[in-house]
Structure 1
Amino acid sequence: MIENWQESARHINSIAGAFFTPWSLARDFAIEVPAGRMIDLCAGMGTLSLARWWRGQFTQHDRISEVVCVEANPDYAAVGRKLLPEARWIVGDVFDLPTDLGHFDAAISNPPFGIVKRTRSAPRFTGRPFEIHVIDIASDLADWGAFIIPQASAPFRYSGCPAGGWPATRRDGFGSGYEDCPGELHATLLAQTGIVMQPNCGIDTALCQQEWHGVSPLCEVVICDFVEARARRAPPPAEQSDLFAMAAE
């Protein structure tokens, strides 16, 4: 059902920038998601959550204890409830979440890509890409994040690149395999939110590029340590601020 259900049969997905994650990519993506409580933002029919839930059923220490899926489209959520009835499904906008969600160990998402209409902005990020607004929202909800975003929005290149994107890997036989290419978007994200998008363990999304329905996007899986992000954006302790003021005098 996951692979054969056509999400665009009753909806024009290109308008919302929403396309469901191929099952093979969802299974690889699950590697990057820790155990515990998990929230899936812009969940679609819950493919990412289902893959991670199933992965956790094989080992006790790797299990997801609770899943919350947030999806604005009621038709998608109705399918999701059948696929993953263990989850709490919330039909609603990620920009207007319930206040009783609590805190999560992980937040995940394959959000709509690019310049997509939204009801409001994230708490801190002021740029245009919808997917970055979702990551900013997630940073208030969880300690860890894993996201599928367009390669153009990532601060590195790996997927679809020869030998992982870094020429030195092919030439000299060493290197991380990731080509670092942070830009203005990432500098703004760090300055406004404290968030750094980091490379994953080695997931090449190009391997399933032809498995998407109606599109063939080149993406990257980025991971975020939100504990570190919140520490970066926290104001310094009062006594530290006093020391800075004294040093400036």
Structure 2
Amino acid sequence: MFLVPQMSAPFKIAGVHSYEEQRSTAYERFHRETGFTLCSRVGIDTSAYEDGWRGVSPRAEVVFADFEDAEEGLLPVPAPRFVSTPEPPCPRPSRRRPRTGTRKRPCSETPPRPRRAGRGGAPSRR
């Protein structure tokens, strides 16, 4: 059981007086690519819950998918040829001009905090 946008379902129940059959191009493409047939078995009118959404309140339908019927028509997914392990992130270099005589730090070493002029030592009195 899934909750999908009304334009992606092959029917309309939410916000209409009676069940309407509707096969949009989005649903036809989904059905062709996956082999899954979506259907309605309970007839829940989700428009009664539109005020419960935060922000945008999309019109949605409750659909059922029969995965056993679609298994025969699906192609097997090929295994990946290799799996790459991402390298740990390296800190970005600063855009300032490097000072002469500075050494380069490896990625694993964190850069020192920059010192601000006039902020070292005792707190100022106001």
User: In the alignment, which residue of structure 1 is the partner of 2:3?
Assistant: 148
User: In the alignment, which residue of structure 1 is the partner of 2:49?
Assistant: 208
**Matched AA of 2:8:** S
Look up the SS of the partner of 1:220 in the other structure: strand
- TM-score after normalising by structure 1: 0.29
Following superposition, the deviation at residue 234 of structure 1 comes to 5.7
Q: How is 1:123-202 mapped onto 2 (pairs within 5 angstroms)?
A: 146-162=1-17, 164=18, 178-202=19-43
Structure with greater helix share of residues: 1
Following superposition, the deviation at residue 192 of structure 1 comes to 1.6
Q: Report sequence identity in percent.
A: 37
**Matched AA of 2:44:** I
Q: What is the aligned length?
A: 76
Structure with greater strand share of residues: 1
Q: Structure 2: which 5+ runs fail to align?
A: 77-126
Following superposition, the deviation at residue 149 of structure 1 comes to 1.1
Following superposition, the deviation at residue 218 of structure 1 comes to 1.1
Look up the SS of the partner of 2:47 in the other structure: helix
- TM-score after normalising by structure 2: 0.54
Following superposition, the deviation at residue 154 of structure 1 comes to 1.0
CA offset digits 1:188-244 (Å, max 9, x no partner): 222221111111311110111101122322110111001111123369xxxxxxxxx
Larger gyration radius, structure 1 or structure 2: 2
CA offset digits 1:72-100 (Å, max 9, x no partner): xxxxxxxxxxxxxxxxxxxxxxxxxxxxx
Which residue of the other structure, out of 53, 63, 80, is the alignment partner of 1:222? 63
Question: What's the RMSD between the two structures over aligned residues?
Answer: 1.8
Superposition misfits of 4+ residues, deviation over 3 angstroms: none
Question: Is the alpha carbon distance of 1:232 and 1:206 closer, same or farther for their aligned partners in structure 2, counting shifts above 3 Å?
Answer: same
